[in-house]
Structure 1
Amino acid sequence: MSEKSEEKRRFHRIFYHADAQLALAGGGEPQRCKIVDLSLRGCLLELTEPLTEIGNQPYELKFELSAEAAIRMEIVATHIQDNQAGFRCAHIDIDSISLLRRLVELNLGDSELLERELSALGNFS
């Protein structure tokens, strides 16, 4: 990634490799995918079936942290390269954002950095 792209990035990515399910929002056959990385603002996924286009079509991503805890978010594709696609988070419920926040906090190891990112998330337009 170029230095200029790094400067534009407001949210640190964490490398979190996990199985997940991706489906068209509002109902659709879920496909299995793998999470490559996550941030408070989106994710990078490795898909079994590549996406063919980028649009405003919302998808639902679901992945489990444990048998009792799962994160769900509505996401929209921002870029595609081969079988990988980047997504931005369009909507996430309060329970899921709480779990995601904790996951990011544990992986960043810096609560001050997390607070800056949460502040930026609130101001993000």
Structure 2
Amino acid sequence: MQHHDERRRFLRIDFDAPTELRQGDRRWPVKLIDLSLKGLLVECPQPWDADLTQDFDAIIHLDPHNRVQMQVELRHEEPRRLGFVCLYIDVESMTHLHRLVELNLADSTEMMRELRELIE
């Protein structure tokens, strides 16, 4: 796991939506703190008994018909927060996430920079 003070290349936006982490048959409802094109930060659920060597699926329910789902890896763990980096996201989820970030960024050039970073 990398230290959480590493230089962030992606701006995070505050966003509140029903979110859960999944690992195999295990599920943890979590409070979403923020997200970016490359990951998310959540409050640590209790109990937190995940296998930290395995990846997770993060599901952010935008409304009853739309969600963002991504395969994520735990990057940093604090006493009350968990930071994840996205390993894989499908096109539909990326479209929803792109739109969320775009609506929350005032500067369209910043959005283009982030998309270039993500592609590289």
TM-score range (shorter-chain normalised) is: 0.7 to 0.9
Mapped to 2, the partners of 1:60 and 1:11 lie a distance apart of: 20
Q: In the alignment, what sits opposite 2:29?
A: 32
Q: In the alignment, what sits opposite 2:102?
A: 105
Q: In the alignment, what sits opposite 2:81?
A: 84
Alignment RMSD, CA only? 1.9
Higher helix share: 1
Question: Does 2:76 align with 1:75?
Answer: no
Q: After TM superposition, which residue ranges in structure 1, 4 or more long, deviate above 3 angstroms?
A: 50-56
Q: Which stretches in structure 1 are left out of the alignment for 5+ residues?
A: none
| Residues 46-61 of structure 1 mapped to structure 2, 5 A cutoff | 46-49=43-46, 51=48, 55-61=52-58
Mapped to 1, the partners of 2:80 and 2:12 lie a distance apart of: 19
Mapped to 2, the partners of 1:53 and 1:62 lie a distance apart of: 16
Q: In the alignment, what sits opposite 1:21?
A: 20
Paired AA for residue 9 in structure 2: R
1:118 to 103, 115, 120: 115
Residue pair 1:49, 1:83 contacting (<8 A) in 2 also: no
How high is the sequence identity, in percent, across the aligned residues? Answer: 36
> CA offset at residue 112 of structure 1?
1.6
| Residues matched between the structures, number | 116
Say which SS state the counterpart of residue 17 (structure 1) adopts.
Answer: coil
